[in-house]
Structures are given as C-alpha cells and as structure tokens.
Amino acid sequence: HRTPDDEMVLPLCINVVLSVVGFGVVLRAIPALSSMFIEAGLFGRDLCKADRTKKVPESMGMVSGTVFLVMMFLFLGVPFGQHFITSSKPFPHAAFSEYLTSLLSICCMLFLGFADDVLNLKWRYKLVLPTLASLPLLMVYYINKGSTTVVVPRLLRAWMGGTLNIGVLYYIYMSMLAVFCTNAINIYAGINGLESGQAVVVGASVAVFNVIELGGFQAKSHFFSLCVIIPFTITSLGLFIHNRYPAKAFVGDTFTYFAGMTFAVVAIIGHFSKTVLLFFIPQIFNFLYSVPQLFHFVPCPRHRLPQYNKKLDKLEPSVVEFRDTSVRWQMMVALRLLNHLKLVHLEEGVGEDGKLCRVNNLTLINLVLVLIGPQHEGSLTTKLLVLQGLSSGLALFIRYPLADLFF
C-alpha cells in the first residue's frame, strides 16, 4: 500500500532530474544563442564597466524561461499521467486545471516581458499587464473554491473571531501580488547577477519553506508549488552563471517579469500568498525607499544603477541633481531627516550657482554603497545576495517561532 508521501517522493525526484537537465540546456544554449540575439538587436551596454562599447545579449530570460516551460510540459505526465496507471481514485481535474493555468499565467508574463524588452513599454502598462496575466489563475482559484479567509491575530480574536473571510479583497490582493512581485524584482536591478541571483535565492527559500510544509495539512498545495519552483530555481541558476560578474548575458525584463509571476503563481496555488512576501524583504525595502522617485517627488532618471569609478575600478552611489525649489518642501524636510539618519546622502548648495541639491538615487544598491563605501561590482552583488539569503532566514524566523506568538 502506498502512503501519500510515496506519491510525492517519486514525482519530486523526477522533477529534480528534469530540472538538472534543464540547467544543462540553459548553460549551453545561452552562449550558443548570444550572437543570434545581438543580430536581432537584443543587446544592452554594460553601464558599470570601463568599456561600454561591448554588446551584451539582452532578454536571455527568454532562454531560461523557455527551457523551464518545456520541462514543465514534460513533467506534466508524471503527477497526472500516473493516475491512469496506478490509481483507482478519480482524476484530479481541479489540480490539473490549476497546474495548467499556472503555466498559462507564467507563459503570458514571459511573453509580455519580452514585448517590453522589444518595445520599451510605459510604466502604466507594466502595472496593468501582470494584473491581466493573473486573471486566468484567479478564475481557477475561484472555481476550485480557494479559501479567501485569513487568520485573525490572537489579540483581535475576542472581537473578530478566529478567522475572517475577506472575499473579493483576497482576489484583489492576489492580483496586486503579481504586480508587486514582477516590478519589485525589476527595480532591484542594475548590477551584474543581481536580477537572476535574487530570483535563485528567493526560489530556493520558497522551496525550503514548501519542503517544511510537506508535513503539514496543506501538503498537496505545497507539493505543487515545489514542482514549479524547483525547475524555476535550477534553470535560473543556469542563467545566473552567465549573468554574474562579468556579465556575458543580460536577463532583460523578460526574466524579471517571468520570475516575479512565477513567485506570485506558486504562492497562489500553494496557498501561501501572505508568507511569500516575507521572502521579499530586500525588494519591499527597495520599493519603499524608491517611492519618492517612482512617484516623481524627486526626479527619476532612466537608469538608477550605481556609478562606475574608473580610477578605483569600483562602484559608487549614483546621484540625481535638482533645484531645491523644484521639489516640495515636505520632501526636502524628509530628505534632510533621512540624511540625518544616514539613510540618504544629501548635499545642498552645490552646482555653479550653489542652488542645486544632490542626493543618491533612492535604491537599496546605492544605499548599501553609501553605508559601506565603494565596492567592486562582483563583490557588491555577492554581498546583496548574502543579504537576500539572511533575510530569508529572518523570514523563516518570523513565519515560525514569531508568528506562533501572534497567531
């Protein structure tokens, strides 16, 4: 007689084997396809290098994304096909439709990210497209009677009861999750290896969380999440190897959108759409820190990546200059306060007429450079990825010992 555990172990082993094959394919395909991408005009200049004339193939997320999808299609027969052979139970139509729509949503985002790379879409579309791409999945979630209740913190239980059904708000939250995950990864970028590296670290962290939860009462959902996140993480690792310093490939918005959507999708089908945000602590910080520039309270240049210092061969914080009269006084007060707290580097009274302000571009990458001084690009990426790993540790601490106190 087979236990539920046996039913999961074999598919997971096959999943890992397929992922490793995918890893090998990505590793070889990227150099093989590089010149083809450059000829098609899909290349970028490495802005943090002394030599900016070299063309680096861009949108290489297309390669890892395609390999990921192929592996997912091949894997389809494993958890579902075996039903025809070994199981007397009815075919799991609900799970099957969830699995297929997950791939549909991810595939859509890969396609839309690629469109962005080719066409350079405006910001408003970057917000609308992930919402639309998440609709099929939300529909299936609804049909499969996915839960829309949240657990109420202990302190509030006397008034609100143990759980609260937030209904349609839950669906709005889930589609906003897709918008957040895609854009948060996209704006935490600009140095070699960071886009793909953060995706690998977050992916691995989500996988660890899923494995822990395989023993819990939502085991089936976490199993499906694992089946998606393992191939994603391992194929992205193949991309990272070419994207890390010195980059031989750029991932493009194709990858940042595809990666963000994958996290949103596994969180939705795995029923951990709140916990997943814990693995995005650096991205959430980077987003909040970026708000003044994203909403144009402070001017926002096209690129906010750090500044290359040729003499030192190191990166320094990049800055933005503006007239103090062009920014609201409330913003200036906030910037002065943050300067006091050493959270921004603000200089006032600069420029020829002494009427300009200069502040570092408001990204976590620049903040780290403000705090610890100029860094070599490769080691800066490593430090930021270690930070990502440490915050995943913090996330698991918040999720387990700490959350038990409050929930």
Binding site for ligand UD1 (CB under 6 A): 44-48, 58, 186-187, 189-192, 247, 250, 253, 303-305
Nearer to ligand UD1, 245 or 263 (CB): 245
What one-character-per-residue DSSP string does 33-74 give? Answer: HHHHHHHTT-EEE-TTSS----EEE--THHHHHHHHHHHHHH
Q: At closest approach, how far in Å is the CB of 305 from ligand UD1?
A: 4
Q: At closest approach, how far in Å is the CB of 117 from Mg ion?
A: 8
Q: At closest approach, how far in Å is the CB of 253 from ligand UD1?
A: 5
Query: Which residue in 19, 34, 186, 388 binds Mg ion (CB under 5 A)?
Result: 186
Q: Which stretch binds Mg ion (CB under 5 A): 39-47, 129-137, 182-190, 351-359?
A: 182-190
Give bridge partners of residue 307 from the DSSP assignment. Answer: 316
Nearer to Mg ion, 25 or 194 (CB): 194
Nearer to Mg ion, 303 or 340 (CB): 303
Q: Is the peptide bond before 301 cis (omega within 30 degrees of 0)?
A: no
Task: Give Cα 62 to chain centroid, integer Å.
Answer: 16
The residues in 196-255 that bind Mg ion, with binding defined as CB under 5 A, are 253
Nearer to ligand UD1, 107 or 305 (CB): 305
Return the one option of ligand UD1, Mg ion, none that residue 190 interacts with (CB less than 5 to 8 A, by type).
ligand UD1
DSSP reduced 3-state for 280 = helix
Nearer to ligand UD1, 103 or 187 (CB): 187
Q: At closest approach, how far in Å is the CB of 88 from Mg ion?
A: 49
Nearer to Mg ion, 72 or 247 (CB): 247
Q: At closest approach, how far in Å is the CB of 281 from ligand UD1?
A: 18
The phi and psi torsions of 10 (rounded to 5 degrees) equal -60, -50
Can residue 117 be called a binding residue for Mg ion (CB under 5 A)?
A: no
The phi and psi torsions of 232 (rounded to 5 degrees) equal -60, -50
Nearer to ligand UD1, 109 or 305 (CB): 305
Return the one option of ligand UD1, Mg ion, none that residue 250 interacts with (CB less than 5 to 8 A, by type).
ligand UD1
What is the sign of the dihedral through the CA atoms of 62, 64, 67 and 73? negative
Q: What angle do CA 127, 132, 134 make, to 5 degrees?
A: 105
Residue nearest to ligand UD1 (CB): 44
Return the one option of ligand UD1, Mg ion, none that residue 219 interacts with (CB less than 5 to 8 A, by type).
none
DSSP reduced 3-state for 321 = strand
Q: At closest approach, how far in Å is the CB of 237 from ligand UD1?
A: 17
Distance CA 192, CA 123 (A): 23
CB atoms within 10 A of CB 105: 26
What token pair was written down for 324? 């103090």
The answer to whether the CB of 232 falls within 8 A of the CB of 262 is yes
Q: At closest approach, how far in Å is the CB of 192 from ligand UD1?
A: 4
User: Which residue in this structure is represented by tokens 């609100």?
Assistant: 160
Nearer to ligand UD1, 117 or 213 (CB): 117
Strand 149-151 and strand 163-165: the pairing is antiparallel
Distance CA 145, CA 94 (A): 10
Residues that bind Mg ion (CB under 5 A): 186, 253
